[in-house]
Amino acid sequence: MSTPATPQNPQPPDPETTGIRTLGHANRFAVWDSEFRYDGRIRVPMGVKIKEVKYSYTGNRQVDIAATEVKRGRGGIGQEYEVIDLTFLEDADLITFTLRGDLNVDADPRPAYGRTYQIRVDVVLGNGDVRTANPEIEVLAGAWNRSDPEKVGRPFVRLPYDNNWGGSPNSQAGFGLVADDGRIAGDKFIIDLVNLRQGEQGVASNSSDHVYYQLVHEDGTPSHYTPTPQVHKADGHRDSGTGRKVTLPALDLRQLGDKPGYYRFLVWPQSANPDNSPSNLRWDEAKPEDAFQLGSVYYRYTAPHNVDTGLRASIKTQTLTATAGQDRWIYPPFVIRNTGQRTIGTVKAVFTAPEGLRFTEERLAFTRWEDEGHEVVAPAVLSADRRTLTCPAVPLNLVPSGPGKDAWASVYPALEVEATAPAGRALVGIQLGEPVFATAQDTVEIRPRG
């Protein structure tokens, strides 16, 4: 007797062909900085142009501000958009743009520590079609007192706007920056760290003196300049003054060997408790969703012709503890689920480990949802320093997630903790696919040897 076919769940439409694909946007800021930054891409019929771009000024999902088109690379401070790239395909055109302007989402969210808004963006095309996206932003409280709930007063970084932080031609020129030659001046990526609890005696998270930052390509791979999130010193302060800003040094992405494309500038504000322990109110650099996007750059940008591989995945991470020089190995797990439209079959996986950790085996073990007790092994190759483990073909075979479906695979490379491993947090990374379609990092908290 034959088995009846299982009805397929309807696939969500591709945002690039029916709406707008969001490349990046200013996703999180305090009520002090009500500004909008958005980078997007659309696929349109051949020859169709953008007629108008509008967005929601108050976050009520009603478009009420029209942006003016300006010259590519202008980097102005008004309500403006620039067409960054026009790429011609055989049957369609790809239009990539950047949008900026003011917002009015500065209502104090307390007693909650933050409030979310969806900022509707409409792109009106010359043929009458309207493309829409609804990027979500999180607006944080800009004041704190001891009676507020726990999360109020988490550290944040400012979203530079107008000319308040200096820079050329203005303070916000590091968002939607056009860098055809790969060069980024030293006044473009600005970090201004605020901690509303700074110096307050006897309260958690009362000291901030650094952030983590990273440049990440549209496809999820990091810039060679920041293979992992990097530490940058910054003076945390409570007031709204801008005199304690710091900037990244001048960069040359071409000289670094970075591939052309779109890069997001991501920052994770940090804070410590009175005993100098990391605060649980800091933003975790191991979690991409914790990042503040403060800028973006289009480096020799041309929209990729194969703009969507159809492969998408979420990767659940974990924090482990270990002791320098311990005898037992550790196995940082990465739990992978298919969030795309196509089955993830056999894919390449690359794992990276920082100083103090080394991979131990030329293989990768993993389990799958059908039989958690059955371990599958895929061959792998170790780098000379044993800090990179490359698995050319991992048979994940994960069907797309959906109602009643929870297909997953848990992969866990073996690592040893060297006796000289520095105390503190170490990040173990994973990249899936070629080209890469998903990345994540597990955290290993290393204690000194007793």
Instruction: Give residue 411's pLDDT.
Output: 97
CB neighbourhood size of 80 (10 A):
19
When pLDDT is cut at 50, 70 and 90, the band that residue 18 belongs to is confident
Q: Averaged over 391-417, what is the pLDDT?
A: 89
Look at residues 203, 211, 201, 194 and name the one whose alpha carbon lies nearest to residue 141: 194
Name the strands in the sheet holding 93-102, side by side, starting at the edge strand that comes first in the sequence. Answer: 21-25, 35-44, 93-102, 80-88, 65-69, 50-55, 121-125, 130-133
**Which residue would you say has higher pLDDT here, 316 or 436?**
316
Give the residue carrying structure tokens 């998408």.
Answer: 312
Instruction: Give residue 90's pLDDT.
Output: 79
The CA distance from 329 to 445, in Å, is 14
**Which residue would you say has higher pLDDT here, 163 or 3?**
163
Q: Are strands 251-252 and 261-269 parallel, antiparallel or unpaired?
A: unpaired
CB neighbourhood size of 346 (10 A):
11
Tokens at 54, concatenated: 């509008």
pLDDT digits (tens, 9 = 90+) for 46-91: 999 999 999 999 998 889 999 999 999 999 999 999 999 999 987 7
When pLDDT is cut at 50, 70 and 90, the band that residue 429 belongs to is very high
Q: Tell me what percent of the residues of the chain surpass a pLDDT of 70.
A: 95
Instruction: Give residue 436's pLDDT.
Output: 82
Q: Averaged over 439-444, what is the pLDDT?
A: 92
DSSP state of 289: G
Q: Length of the chain in residues, anyone?
A: 450
Q: Which ranges of 246-333 does DSSP label H, i.e. alpha helix?
A: 253-256
Q: Averaged over 209-233, what is the pLDDT?
A: 94
When pLDDT is cut at 50, 70 and 90, the band that residue 13 belongs to is low
Instruction: Give first-to-last CA distance, the chain, whole Å.
Output: 66
The CA distance from 15 to 442, in Å, is 30
Q: Averaged over 86-108, what is the pLDDT?
A: 93
The CA distance from 174 to 188, in Å, is 5
pLDDT digits (tens, 9 = 90+) for 182-198: 999 999 999 999 999 99
Instruction: Give residue 29's pLDDT.
Output: 98
Q: Averaged over 90-108, what is the pLDDT?
A: 93
How many CA atoms lie within 13 Å of 84's alpha carbon, on the beta-carbon side?
Answer: 27
pLDDT digits (tens, 9 = 90+) for 279-308: 999 999 988 999 999 999 999 999 987 655
Q: Would you say residue 277 has pLDDT above 90?
A: yes
CB-based contacts of 400, cutoff 8 Å, min separation 6: 9, 338, 339, 340, 341, 342, 343
Q: Would you say residue 401 has pLDDT above 80?
A: no
Task: Work out the burial of residue 448: count CB atoms within 10 Å of its CB; fewer than 13 is exposed, 13-18 middle, 19 or more buried.
Answer: exposed
Q: Would you say residue 6 has pLDDT above 80?
A: no
Instruction: Give residue 1's pLDDT.
Output: 33
Q: Would you say residue 310 has pLDDT above 80?
A: no
